[in-house]
Amino acid sequence: MKKIWMLLAILSTGWEVAYGQCTTCPSAGACNGGNGAATNGQNINSGNTYFYSGSGTFSSGVNLNGGTLRICGTLTLSSINFNSGILVIESGGSLTINGSGTLFLNGSTSIYNRGQLTINRSITMQNSNNRIINCTSSANLTMNGGSHTLEINSSSSNFINYGNADIHTLFIQSSASGGAVCLGTSSTLNLTNLNNNESNGVDAPSGRACVRYTGNAALNSNLSNTSNVVVCRATGATRSGGASFGGAAVTTGCSSCLVALPIELVYFKAECNSNDLLLKWATASERNNAFFTLEKSLDGIQWESIATIQGAGNSESLLEYESHYAYQTIEKNVYFRLKQTNTNGTFTYSEIIDQKKCLMEHVGYIVFPNPTDKFVNIKYDNLPNTKYEIVVYNAFQQIVFTSQQALTSIDTETWNKGLYFIRINDTVMKFVVEH
């Protein structure tokens, strides 16, 4: 029976595709097109998309009235009105919001940050359907230039952090929902004060994340029901209120989140090679890290160990790891995750890679990689003793290549970008050429 296995995208950085995780950001966009470049005092109405790729200050700010503003450059806003709409800071972009008084997110407002977002004001997420998302592990949100508060008081509003956030006071009102603050794996949330009035206001569904505070934690409801939330309580920090940290893991006298989290994972990804799948990951720092275990699953529920790799123990340097996984053992759908075990036996998981096929396979041979840009390769289980006819044709059924030999590689560099079909004797398979 024919099996056509096509390459799909592999999760590389940002940890943005996984099972059991926080809400994620939409795909990154480009700073061009739409309604053009935003200007000082711009009204961004519903259906409008403006961008900013320069470096400057808008003294009159902008009014977000249902449209989209995308930042790829460096912009300072003296004011902004969040009536509704979408604000995006792309990777490499930087936005600073100044002004006086509290900023109100007035409903159906989304802030997606992949770069640097600095807000020198307090924010109240009122009304419904507001969200602020630090989209990737490299995203930074700073609200600690003064006594600024991020307040969540709507049951359908959320703050989601996959990167690093530095906020003076986080205030989760009783009108918020459980998990109003959702933390991605290895993310860090640095606070002066924490005020939690909603049961299990903080969640970390996919893996361990750190909340560090240096002032007071006012807990009028239990903070979290999961030990994935690691509370890093600095020396001299206090706790008040009639509730507790709940199921969160608390480290006292904690100098930084690097102490509370056993490793700082930079990435976990997979790469397709000619003979196997290469699983790779890197750590920026390690604390009491005993070893890693690579696990696979066919359904994302039941897991089995496929490899164990020793950790560095303690490190402040970038360390890279890798492990090979043979193609012939890859099933139709396969998922991978990384388990990290400490010297005391405790452990955490990375988010999950949803890895589809790296290649197309038929009994007797495989064709790879797919997509390709320069060469498409053919690997035979055994060198054929019979005559092989190889024909390649494009999506318009035009023949672009033929051979009467069992070739192992075909040059595609001069071919047009698009979908192609390769027929080897009586079997046809697809592949894509990308330049």
Q: What is the 3-state secondary structure (H, E, C) of 386-434?
A: CCCCEEEEECCCCEEEEECCCCCEEECCCCCCEEEEEEECCEEEEEEEC
Distance between CA 117 and CA 346 in Å, rounded?
Answer: 34
Which of 222-226, 242-246, 376-380 bottoms out in mean pLDDT, i.e. has the lowest? 376-380
For residue 259, the SS3 value is helix
Sorted by sequence, the CB contacts under 8 Å of residue 352 that are 6+ apart come out as 17, 18, 19, 300, 335, 336, 337
CATH superfamily of 263-355: Immunoglobulins (2.60.40.10)
Q: Phi first, then psi: what are they for 65, rounded to 5°? A: -115, 45
Given a cut of 70, is residue 1 above it in pLDDT?
Answer: no
| Interatomic CA distance for residues 245 and 202, integer angstroms | 10
What global pTM score does this model have? 0.61
360-433 — its CATH code?
2.60.40.3080
d(CA 346, CA 227): 11
Handedness of CA 293, 294, 299, 303 (dihedral sign): negative
The helix (H) or strand (E) run that includes residue 258 is helix 257-260
Cβ burial 76-113 (10 Å sphere, 16+ → b, else e): bbbbbebbbbbbbbbbebbbbbbeeeebbbbbbbbbbb
What's the CA angle centered on 184, arms 96 and 51, to 5 degrees?
35
In the chain, ranges of CATH 2.60.40.3080 domains: 360-433
* pLDDT averaged over every residue in the chain: 85
The Cα–Cα gap between 226 and 271 comes to: 33
pLDDT tens figures, 143-194: 998 899 999 999 999 999 999 999 999 999 999 999 999 999 888 999 999 9
In this predicted model, which residue has the larger pLDDT, 295 or 251?
Answer: 295
Residue extent(s) of CATH 2.60.40.10 domains in the chain:
263-355
Tokens 């400057």 belong to 56
- Condensed to tens digits (0 to 9), the pLDDT of residues 192-214 reads 999 999 999 999 998 788 999 99
* Alpha-carbon 135 to chain mean position: 6
